[in-house]
Amino acid sequence: MLTFTNRFLNALPGDPNPSNHSRQVHGAFWSRVTPARVAAPSLLLHSPEVAAMLGLSEAQMRSPEMLAALSGNGVLPGMDTYATAYAGHQFGNWAGQLGDGRAIMLGEVLAPSAEHFEWQLKGAGPTPFSRRADGRAVLRSSIREFLCSEAMHHLGVPTTRALSLVLTGEPVERDMFYDGHPELEPGAIVCRVAPSFIRFGHFELFASRGEHALLRQLIDFTVTHYFPGIAAAHADPRERLLAWYAEVCARTARLMARWMGVGFVHGVMNTDNLSILGLTIDYGPYGWVDDFDPGWTPNTTDAQGKRYAFGRQPGVAQWNLARLGDALATLDAVPPEALTDALAQFERTYAAEANGLFAEKFGLRAAVGHGDDASEARAIIDAAFALLVQHEIDMTIFFRSLASATTVADLRDAFYRDTEWHEARAAWAAWFERYAALGARLHATPDARAERAARMNAVNPKYVLRNYLAQQVIDSAHAGDYAPIAELLDVMRRPYEEQPGRERFAHKRPDWARTKAGCSMLSCSS
């Protein structure tokens, strides 16, 4: 038996208009909407960890009632379906009202852990926020969202989760590269799960319209339910707001450090795609860097400006937080300077988190705070970054190799091109000698060295959701074979462990995938 609490719906005012046509929704947080029926739903895959978190048994997951709920063909007792209103800045420009155009909330459950989780279908049909689009999602993007949210969770990166992946049995038309060649693709629906799907853009919407009472109400709701420590510590509304904004800045900074540490590139960091809880949200044209290239973006729509390239993500997050700050500054009695001070929290937290994480990844954490060793460690890490960007070097393999490397030759496998390895070998040999010398000094005994290696392997994943691996299982699924999706999910469950027999999932990007659609280039069409 699931207990639905639906606090967002019950506590915040909604749109009195029950009709489901595209429109501007004013003075409301949500519009009631019923998912569209689908022809022939089937459950392709579910996440046992998410089911367990929600208190769902295997039998419940496989019941006809659950399939109906997860495909939008029915609701479980206590579910109440709606879409929420938000706005946003897209690619740096104000975009006005956006909203859940193809996401439909099913409600919020109270889990056995006493935590609350919202359920949301992505691709369950049009809502008042769909504008001219169809509210649907295709199988390839749904596989990508499902796999990546679970992979990120198992890597330890804060993220929304995926409960299920359902095939609708209906085709969806998409023009994948916006080049006038639309095709019919299989439709699918992912059920996402998170404590809340509130985005920066929810706050921006009310600020942009001068709906200050609603903005205050949303801040109140958010702080009370999701930041109870801040609610308890600050009775004064102004202090509470500032402390909360500073905390959002800090959480977002920690998230950025985690993305940078595993080589994740979100691809569409618009303010409507940033979670107020500091979760990774909205898996669209995301990618994983193969070679360590701060200028790389997987998103073809961003190929010109590269606004959302790998190395730009922390700066963009800060820009987005400033837009959130602008929204808060529309309230009386919120001094802009105080918001600017709170925003400064972002840079401090990001620097501390990223420096700490990379010190850990290089196995040089022990040097931190120890005078000369600390500056030597800093110089070694900076030198590695300077070398990494000069050639095509696989980020994941490079870092994973460090724990067991005894000579520079142990780094060779990370290189994509033999010629570059020969060219760079001398520079890397000099770097490695310096690196190994500091490592030996910091970790003198075999026990200390073994402990260091274990710690490094706990932050340097062996398995990440490489773009070409995701594309391979998508290609298989399009050919009717869904088993590879489950196998890839299983590999991604234990990313930091050696998994004998599964080494092929740790191989660097093969040459055929270098410029293949889906492997290095993705569009927003999903």
* Site for ligand AMP contains 199 (CB under 6 A): no
User: Coil, strand or helix: which one is 329?
Assistant: helix
Residue whose CB is less far from Mg ion, 82 or 463: 82
Q: Does 282 bind Mg ion (CB under 5 A)?
A: yes
Which residue lies nearer to ligand AMP by CB, 192 or 452? 192
Q: Using the rule CB under 6 A, which residue among 282, 291, 353, 394 binds ligand AMP?
A: 282
Q: Which one of 50-58, 94-102, 147-155, 288-296 is the stretch in contact with ligand AMP (CB under 6 A)? A: 94-102
- Tell whether residue 170 is a contact of ligand AMP (CB under 6 A): no
Q: x/- string (CB under 6 A) for ligand AMP, residues 127-166? A: --xx--xxxx------------------------------
Kindly state the number of chain residues that form the binding site for ligand AMP, as judged by CB under 6 A: 17
Q: How far apart are CA 210 and CA 9, in angstroms?
A: 22
Tokens describing residue 258: 């985690």
Question: Is 298 near ligand AMP (CB under 6 A)?
Answer: no
CB-based contacts of 82: which residues, under 8 Å, 6+ apart?
Answer: 9, 14, 30, 31, 32, 33, 104, 105
Stretch in the footprint of ligand AMP (CB under 6 A) among 266-274, 305-313, 425-433, 440-448: 266-274
Q: Which stretch binds ligand AMP (CB under 6 A): 54-62, 100-108, 296-304, 488-496?
A: 100-108
CA distance 246 to 265: 24
The only residue of 273, 280, 300, 457 in contact with ligand AMP, by rule CB under 6 A: 273
Least distance to Mg ion from the beta carbon of 273, Å?
5
Select the binding partner of residue 134 from Mg ion, ligand AMP, none (C-beta < 5 to 8 A, by kind): ligand AMP
Active-site residue, 302 included: no
Is position 118 an interface residue for Mg ion (rule: CB under 5 A)? no
How far apart CA 470 and CA 467 sit, in angstroms, is 5
Give the residue among 163, 100, 165 at the shortest CA–CA distance from 138. Answer: 165
How far apart are CB 223 and Mg ion at their closest, in Å?
Answer: 23
Residue 75 in 3-state DSSP?
Answer: coil
Q: Does 273 bind Mg ion (CB under 5 A)?
A: yes
Instruction: Name which of 300 and 526 has its Cβ closer to Mg ion.
Output: 526
Interaction between residue 267 and ligand AMP (CB under 6 A): no
Q: Does 188 bind ligand AMP (CB under 6 A)?
A: no
Place of tokens 């609701």: 75
Q: Which does 99 bind (CB under 5 to 8 A by kind): Mg ion, ligand AMP, none?
A: ligand AMP
Of the candidates 80, 134, 236, 272, the residue annotated as catalytic is 272
User: Residue 294 and residue 313: Cα distance in Å, rounded?
Assistant: 9
Contacts of 134 (CB under 8 A, 6+ apart): 102, 125, 126, 172, 173
What is the closest distance, in whole angstroms, from the C-beta atom of residue 268 to ligand AMP in the complex?
Answer: 5
Strand partners, 190: 122, 165
C-alpha to C-alpha distance for 476 and 486, rounded to whole angstroms: 12
Cβ-based neighbours of 185, under 8 Å, separated by 6 or more = 138, 139, 140, 171, 172, 173, 174
- Which neighbouring-strand residues pair with 154? none
8 Å CB contact between 389 and 292: yes
Provide CB contacts within 8 A for 192, sequence distance 6+. 103, 119, 120, 121, 122, 145, 149, 160, 161, 162, 163
Q: Whose CA is closest to 402, among 441, 369, 373, 359?
A: 359
Choice between 308 and 435, CB closer to ligand AMP: 308
Contact 57, 112 (CB under 8 A): no
Which entry of Mg ion, ligand AMP, none binds 136, CB below 5 to 8 A by partner kind? ligand AMP
Amino acid at 213: A
Q: Which is nearer to ligand AMP, 127 or 396 (CB)?
A: 127
284 binds ligand AMP, rule: CB under 6 A: yes
Q: Are 70 and 62 in contact (CB under 8 A)?
A: no
Active site residues: 272
Positions touching ligand AMP (CB under 6 A) are 98-102, 129-130, 133-136, 268, 272-273, 282, 284, 524
Positions touching Mg ion (CB under 5 A) are 273, 282
